[in-house]
Amino acid sequence: MSGQRLKDRVVMIIGAGSIDAGWGNGKAAAVQAAREGARVFAVDINAEAAQETVDLIRNEGFEASAHQADATDSAAVESMVNACVRTYGGVDVMHNNIGIVELGGPVELEESAWQRALDINLTSPFLTCKHVLPVMERQGRGVILITGSIAGIRYTGVPYVSYSATKAAVAQLCQSVALQYASRGIRANCILPGLMDTPMIYQGLNEGYSASSQQEMVDKRNAQCPTGHMGDAWDVAHAMVFLASDEAKYITGQNLVVDGGLTAKIH
């Protein structure tokens, strides 16, 4: 189903590819934005993954361009923003969706893994804000969206201290940007997914759930949710479209929790 809530908006999605087959949050967000009338600038560190998303969008008759970039590299991010401006004339919405999970508490986690999580989960949103905000300020409008996690506000039972810490920091980064730029026509909000059934969870989360198989891990995650099942990438995509649209024009500096009620039951 398509609509026009993002008609003629330029939407840059960082992490628009999927780590594996299926629908990751960024991939679904890119496709849904296009269905809502946006021109999508799809960015991923994996050029083929970005192009796959663009091909899906174009096959549905919508407009999109692919761009390869390492969003932890400041020069690459600056070049990415400039390429979007050259292609579409500006950036109306920037959605940073990249993130990794490194299992382990403070004792078990290697320092190199801690730093990697910081670089990807926190430095990347900082850099994308750093380079896209001047464009939005010149335009006199813009929307910053960052994908966080309920792990940044609750302990969900999995020992991944670097993930929890960086996702908590992302929410505060977003709020700081929102308040600094509120008078300049720029909004910033954070989307906090709960337990979602996306390709990322099949990349080594079994150990975190003390599960002997992927199916056991999936069953445990489903059982945690008040709904009896995990959400999916489209739940995040629809939240992104709402926050990017004029329907949310008076919403800024907020965390939108998309978790099927999970955090309401965790105290």
Q: How far apart are the first and last CA of the chain?
A: 38
Amino acid letter, 224: Q
User: Coil, helix or strand for 134?
Assistant: helix
Separation CA 58–CA 245 (nearest Å): 22
What tokens appear for 236 in the block?
Answer: 């995040």
- Active-site residue, from 88, 155, 160, 163: 163
Is 209 annotated as catalytic?
no
Residue listed under structure tokens 């109306």:
92
Separation CA 170–CA 123 (nearest Å): 9
Strand partners, 191: 147, 256
Separation CA 232–CA 238 (nearest Å): 11
Burial of 229 (0-12, 13-18, 19+ CB in 10 A): middle
H or E element at residue 93: strand 93-96
Separation CA 67–CA 83 (nearest Å): 8
Contacts with 262 (C-beta within 8 Å, 6 or more apart), sequence order:
150, 154, 156, 194, 195, 224, 225, 226
Residues forming the active site: 163
